Structure 1
Amino acid sequence: MSDSHPAACENCAAPLRGRFCHACGQAAHSPVRSFAHAVEEVFESFWHLDGRIFRTLRRLLSPGALAIDYLGGRRAPYVAPMRLFVVLCVLTFFVGKLVDWSDDATVAPSVQVNGAARMFAGAGTVAEVERLRDANVAEMEEGREGLPAIAAPARRGFDQGIAEIRRQADLRIVELGGTPAPAPPAAAGVETRGTDALVVSTDGEDGWLARQARRIEQNWPRIERDPSLFKAAFMGSVPSALFVLVPLFALLLKLFYLDSGRLYLEHLVVALYSHAFLLLALLGQFVLLALEHTIAPYVVTFGMFTGLLAGLLWLCMPVYLLLMQKRVYGQGWLLTGTKFAVLGGIYAFVLVNAAVALALLSLARA
């Protein structure tokens, strides 16, 4: 099908003299007449693939530089703050859903299991094996009970560890000519603990909290069998929460920097770019985790490398925000540091409570 430009704008009928209508701004070409133009329009509207997205990301890496440029009127070279935030939010949590990060909860139990197996191999009597078994099981149970009820993947990891310790102890007892004692009903296997109930008390029977509590109790067995259900629900809820938290952060900036004379929308630009960097750093964490799970089983030292990079990324987040506030608002280090500490403490408190609320809602919706 021909992709030649029409003589007049299809939107307002004004004569065309180029690729865009001078009256209404509509493009001369039609995306429904060319597959290439259709793909181009999708990516252009989302990414603005004219170099601005990459220029924006490079500038974003310099704390405060992008916000200073945008607030100073140099907006054309960069992607708008809201568009950048939305793009990074969608991309980050899309990748986060794909990455398998539930295995990390079982690392500590697996280390203890391996240590117990070596100790069992060195035990020379049935009594010594039983002593080692009971000590390791007690330690694992104490760790399990110390976890919050919503940490389903980690609790399952400790259950598996306890079952494996008992299994290896029984094998060593048989090797020494003894007879393994029957396992306690609660520790006979992982499956017997796979339906732990989570009880949430509420005052009313028909209120919103009561309905959420009933959903959590109904969903809990499924989530313990498949923790990825909780992860998917939680990761899907975070972007919606951020659209509430970012304006709240901007309001805090407004309150703490009343003497700057800036309007609320200017503080909102700072908040959007701040969270855009945090999303970029979080995306980096997800990518490192995916690489670790893919490469570390074959290259032992790769896990140390990714762990070091992940630690540096976490360290960069507060340092970046501090430098950004210093450069954007131009106040002294002592005043900036004080405001950053107080504002950061308040916002961290809000984030923790928001995370707990999202976790409970995710349990109800998984």
Structure 2
Amino acid sequence: MAKHLETCKNCEQQFNASFNFCPHCGQQAKDELTVKVLFYNTISNYFSFDARFFKSFFPLLFRPGYLALKFIEGKRLLYLHPAQMYLFIAVVFFFLFSFVQRNQVRSLDEKLSETLNDTSVIDKIIDERVKDSILKISQLQKQAKDSIARAEIRNTLKNNAFITGFTDKEIDSLVAADDFRKNDITSFDFNTNSVDSLLNIGATEAVIYKEMGMNDDAGYLQRRLYAQALKFYKTRKGGSILQAFYDAIPIAMFFLLPIFALILKLFHLRKGRYAHHLVFSFYYFSFLFTVFSIVLGVNFIFDMPDWLDLLVMFSTFIYLVLALKRFYVQGLFKSFLKGAVASFIFLSIVTPITFVLLGAFAFLFY
């Protein structure tokens, strides 16, 4: 009896029609493309949203360090890959966080607009500028009086040189050593009226930058700062800067997570390769993003009290200590000490430096 053969649409090899999958490439024999199949394949391929996810999700939440330990031991198909789990949960978190950041960006623009359009605030600024002008005028008057006084002292010393025996050079040194010194008036502020006038007549940016105080020999970074400052002055919106800051956070996490793994490596030099600590960090950050996602979801329904937010944050540290204890097979006190120091280094040094860099990046490229 002749066998019925099918031709694989993927590799174009023939196989028995009774097979459900191609024995050459593994593609499903009768793969009818429907909306369900399309989205299932997409989620399954990129996020591995299958049984492994559910087998991994609950141990991730309630068994600290368990998944990382099992992955290191070789059980790498039973549970979801650490990088895939991190990617999936991070996408969910930043999706939820996008609603929060959208409100914050809009709120910042509204408050900034109200502040700049508030006549009382403007009057206060004008009043401060008037006071500043008066102060500068008084300083100029003092300088003029000082110059006159220095001239009178010089003339007096010269007229009595036959008595004192001072030479012209000594007289100049005495006058220069006196307390009459020129006050250096330096201000990084610029005249907004002048800048507004230049903008109204359509002046070039180079002319406006010079009016704002930029030097002719300014480098790229300084020119970029003045360009962004002028851009902000024109739009009067800080939401774009905040949005650029938020947009850079997911990228920054790909650097922060390996740094956290490096810190763990420094505290556990004899506990495996760097990749082992990276696996632990992937699962731990997945747990963090899961908790943050739950907190965001709850806050969408009702506003959580501050004490509960603090309790949740503290629970993530307790989770870290227990995870360190299980994964590195060490005592509770040692895990607590290493977890506390590692968290302190990461939160007080690495994270603030990263935020400063992100802030500078956001301002320079928003």
**Separation in structure 2 between the aligned mates of residue 282 and residue 201 of structure 1, nearest angstrom:** 44
| Aligned equivalent of 1:312 | 311
**Separation in structure 1 between the aligned mates of residue 80 and residue 127 of structure 2, nearest angstrom:** 56
Question: Is 1:271 paired with 2:281?
Answer: yes
| Aligned equivalent of 2:241 | 230
Deviating beyond 6 angstroms after TM superposition, the runs of 4 or more aligned structure 1 residues are 152-155, 199-202
- Report the 3-state secondary structure (helix = DSSP H, G, I; strand = E; otherwise coil) of the residue aligned with 1:20: coil
- Report the 3-state secondary structure (helix = DSSP H, G, I; strand = E; otherwise coil) of the residue aligned with 2:270: helix
Deviations 1:182-233 (A, max 9, x none): 9535599xxxxxx9x9x9999x8333x3354235414434775352x33432
| Aligned equivalent of 1:242 | 253
Does the 8 Å contact 2:101/2:243 carry over to 1?
Answer: no
Aligned partner of 2:327: which letter?
V
**Separation in structure 2 between the aligned mates of residue 60 and residue 80 of structure 1, nearest angstrom:** 12
**Separation in structure 2 between the aligned mates of residue 154 and residue 322 of structure 1, nearest angstrom:** 43
| Aligned equivalent of 2:355 | 355
Does the 8 Å contact 2:324/2:335 carry over to 1?
Answer: yes
| Aligned equivalent of 1:15 | 15
- Report the 3-state secondary structure (helix = DSSP H, G, I; strand = E; otherwise coil) of the residue aligned with 1:77: coil
Distance 1:278 1:223, change over 3 A: farther
Distance 1:211 1:286, change over 3 A: farther
Quote the RMSD (CA, aligned, Å). Answer: 3.9
Does the 8 Å contact 2:48/2:80 carry over to 1?
Answer: yes
Q: CA deviation at 1:253?
A: 1.7
Q: CA deviation at 1:64?
A: 1.0
**Separation in structure 1 between the aligned mates of residue 270 and residue 226 of structure 2, nearest angstrom:** 49
Question: Is 1:343 paired with 2:353?
Answer: no
Aligned partner of 2:124: which letter?
P
| Aligned equivalent of 2:66 | 65
**Separation in structure 1 between the aligned mates of residue 229 and residue 321 of structure 2, nearest angstrom:** 42
**Separation in structure 2 between the aligned mates of residue 308 and residue 157 of structure 1, nearest angstrom:** 33
Does the 8 Å contact 1:105/1:157 carry over to 2?
Answer: no
| Aligned equivalent of 1:128 | none
**Separation in structure 1 between the aligned mates of residue 353 and residue 80 of structure 2, nearest angstrom:** 32
Say which one has the larger Rg: 2
Q: CA deviation at 1:358?
A: 0.9
Q: What runs of 5+ residues in structure 1 fail to find an aligned partner?
A: 107-151, 168-181, 189-194, 293-302
- Report the 3-state secondary structure (helix = DSSP H, G, I; strand = E; otherwise coil) of the residue aligned with 1:24: coil
1:77-88 matches, within 5 Å, as 77-88=78-89
Q: 1:205 aligns with which of 189, 193, 218?
A: 218
**Separation in structure 2 between the aligned mates of residue 23 and residue 35 of structure 1, nearest angstrom:** 26
| Aligned equivalent of 1:92 | 93
Distance 1:154 1:256, change over 3 A: farther
- Report the 3-state secondary structure (helix = DSSP H, G, I; strand = E; otherwise coil) of the residue aligned with 1:61: helix
**Separation in structure 1 between the aligned mates of residue 335 and residue 57 of structure 2, nearest angstrom:** 25
Aligned partner of 2:281: which letter?
A
- Report the 3-state secondary structure (helix = DSSP H, G, I; strand = E; otherwise coil) of the residue aligned with 1:15: strand
Distance 1:153 1:344, change over 3 A: farther
| Aligned equivalent of 1:288 | 298
**Separation in structure 2 between the aligned mates of residue 317 and residue 201 of structure 1, nearest angstrom:** 48
Does the 8 Å contact 2:8/2:14 carry over to 1?
Answer: yes
Aligned length: 278
Which fold has the larger relative contact order, with Cα–Cα distance below 8 Å and residues 6 or more apart in sequence? Answer: 2
Distance 1:13 1:61, change over 3 A: same
Q: What runs of 5+ residues in structure 2 fail to find an aligned partner?
A: 129-191, 196-211
Aligned partner of 1:347: which letter?
F
| Aligned equivalent of 1:52 | 52
- TM-score, length of structure 2 as denominator length: 0.63
Which segment drifts farther, 319-328 or 96-105?
96-105
